[in-house]
Amino acid sequence: MMTNTYRPFIGGVPRSIDTFARQYRKMGHQVKVVAPEFDGQTEEADVMRVPALRNFNGTEFSVQLPIPFILSEFADSFQPDVIHSHHPFLLGTTALRLAVRHEVPLLYTFHTFYEHYLHYLPGGETEPMRRFVATLVAGYANLCDHVIAPSRFVAEELRRRGVIKPIDVIPTGVDVESIGHGDGSAFRKKWGIPEEAYVVGFVSRLAPEKNLAFLSDAVLELLGARENAWFLIAGKGPLEEGLKARFEHSGLAGRIRMFGNLEGGELHDLYNALDVFAFASHTETQGMVVAEAMAAGVPVVAVHASGVSDIVRDGYNGRLLREENSGEFSRALSWCGALEPGARLELKSHARKTARVFSDEACARRAIALYQMARRESKALHEHESAWDEFLNIVSAEWNLLANLGVAAGKAWADSEPEEQVPSP
């Protein structure tokens, strides 16, 4: 597993890697994670840390330094059967080089619509940069053996952008059993939240791409209309202080709790303390926290968007709103609590039923089956290759990486849309 973000950074990609790795190890497989150094990291036996520039551009992210010989020695000693890349650049390009050198399949999981995250780069939020990133990612996917999409929406979007390599939809699984046994009553008691309160929750990084201005508008409207409504937030990020100030200014901060990052049992308890989960992001490839909330039997109110629309069914396990209107969103949050007891129990039951489809064990088994198929294909492909063929493969990989950069750069300044005419090296 090769990733540009990993613990102690809190985010969807590290959580996805940990979820799959934990299940793979339970099945008897060896898993190594290759990741950049991060402030606050701890020594872990199965994690190879790569020297990196930490807190890049004032963010929580680290950027890998190009020291290829360290990873070559590491891969030589581990002898991987499969290399799984979680990013299309930095360690993603290293993953491609290692896969070619070791003649093993390379799989790539598309976790992120990077064009929605350009605000983390200095001067990055421009249309040429959006075209560059979208083209670069699609080209990288076409250099891999198989692509994993966390949702059907993402798979369809990748096809639209020109990805021709096999795409399998395998979401990140959630620990349905552990989440379902969280203690919501104890959590409410610990934090002074009345048992009779109507509690809305949100779990995520507190960052611009999560559409937090809209979400806070809707929730504050609900809190203003319902005196027994509370709002709980788990997560940290660059918008944290701004949200706190806004809540204080609203005069409703007494019924709002911000917990920072919660993990494990504490997070499971929070989910079980909720009556409804609110989510308004447009940038998700899956929306793992939505499935986690449903594992606790919590209905979800969300804006119709990528990833989330694969999970939330309007009127079945929550509300899925086609239009972004804060008043409608607020009324949808209230609707979940206004149902008759029988209908409310049915909504919660449907949420749990949905979550079981996303169990971590089931998703991991699907991924292992894909690895095995990719290995068979790779062995057949390389079975009769000579040393000269192997050398040509290495040269070809380098050429394709350079060519992909060139095509993406050309596309950045072209008038056409990024999803059209993406090359397939």
Looking at the structure, do residues 34 and 151 belong to the same domain, yes or no?
yes
Looking at the structure, do residues 329 and 186 belong to the same domain, yes or no?
yes
The enclosing domain of 239 has a CATH number of 3.40.50.2000
Looking at the structure, do residues 221 and 346 belong to the same domain, yes or no?
yes
pLDDT at position 177 is 93
Looking at the structure, do residues 305 and 371 belong to the same domain, yes or no?
no
> Is there a domain that residue 71 lies in?
yes
> Is there a domain that residue 423 lies in?
no
Looking at the structure, do residues 321 and 386 belong to the same domain, yes or no?
no
Query: What are the φ/ψ torsions at residue 104 (nearest 5 degrees)?
Result: -125, 155
Looking at the structure, do residues 87 and 180 belong to the same domain, yes or no?
no
pLDDT at position 135 is 93
Bridge partners (DSSP) of residue 303 are 321
Cβ–Cβ under 8 Å, residues 87 and 3: yes
Cβ–Cβ under 8 Å, residues 90 and 62: no
Strand locations in 113-190 (E): 146-149, 167-169
pLDDT at position 68 is 59
Query: What are the φ/ψ torsions at residue 201 (nearest 5 degrees)?
Result: -130, 160
> Is there a domain that residue 89 lies in?
yes
Structure tokens at 81: 């059967």
Which residue stretches of the chain have pLDDT < 70? 52-69, 119-124, 415-425
pLDDT in tens, 44-88: 889 998 886 655 545 555 565 656 567 888 888 899 999 999 999
Bridge partners (DSSP) of residue 319 are 301
CB half-sphere exposure, 70, CA atoms < 13 A: 13
Among 301, 288, 292, CA closest to 200: 301
Looking at the structure, do residues 351 and 366 belong to the same domain, yes or no?
no
pLDDT at position 252 is 97
Looking at the structure, do residues 42 and 101 belong to the same domain, yes or no?
yes
Number of domains in the chain: 2
Q: For residues 416 and 5, what is the distance between their CA atoms, to the nearest angstrom?
A: 32
Looking at the structure, do residues 84 and 223 belong to the same domain, yes or no?
no
Bridge partners (DSSP) of residue 230 are 199
Query: What are the φ/ψ torsions at residue 276 (nearest 5 degrees)?
Result: -155, 150
Cβ–Cβ under 8 Å, residues 173 and 361: yes
Structure tokens at 277: 């989960």
| Burial class, 395, CB count within 10 angstroms (exposed 0-12 / middle 13-18 / buried 19+) | exposed
Looking at the structure, do residues 272 and 395 belong to the same domain, yes or no?
no
> Is there a domain that residue 417 lies in?
no
Looking at the structure, do residues 291 and 400 belong to the same domain, yes or no?
no
Residues contacting 240, CB < 8 A, separation 6+? 206, 258
Query: What are the φ/ψ torsions at residue 34 (nearest 5 degrees)?
Result: -110, 125
Q: What does R_g of the chain's alpha carbons equal in angstroms?
A: 22
Q: Give 302-357 as a DSSP string.
A: EES-TTGGGT--BTTTEEEESS--HHHHHHHHHHHHHS-HHHHHHHHHHHHHHHHT
> Is there a domain that residue 236 lies in?
yes
pLDDT in tens, 354-380: 999 999 999 999 999 999 999 999 999
> Is there a domain that residue 425 lies in?
no
Structure tokens at 58: 């004032």
Q: For residues 172 and 113, what is the distance between their CA atoms, to the nearest angstrom?
A: 16
Looking at the structure, do residues 345 and 215 belong to the same domain, yes or no?
yes
Last residue of a domain, one of 356, 371, 386: 356
Look at strands 83-85 and 63-64 and give their pairing. Answer: unpaired
Ramachandran class of 236: left when φ > 0, alpha when ψ lies in -120 to 50, beta otherwise: beta
Domain limits for position 220? 176-356
Q: Sign of the CA dihedral 258, 260, 266, 269?
A: positive
Last residue of a domain, one of 317, 332, 356: 356
Last residue of a domain, one of 340, 356, 372: 356
pLDDT at position 421 is 45
> Is there a domain that residue 314 lies in?
yes
> Is there a domain that residue 1 lies in?
no
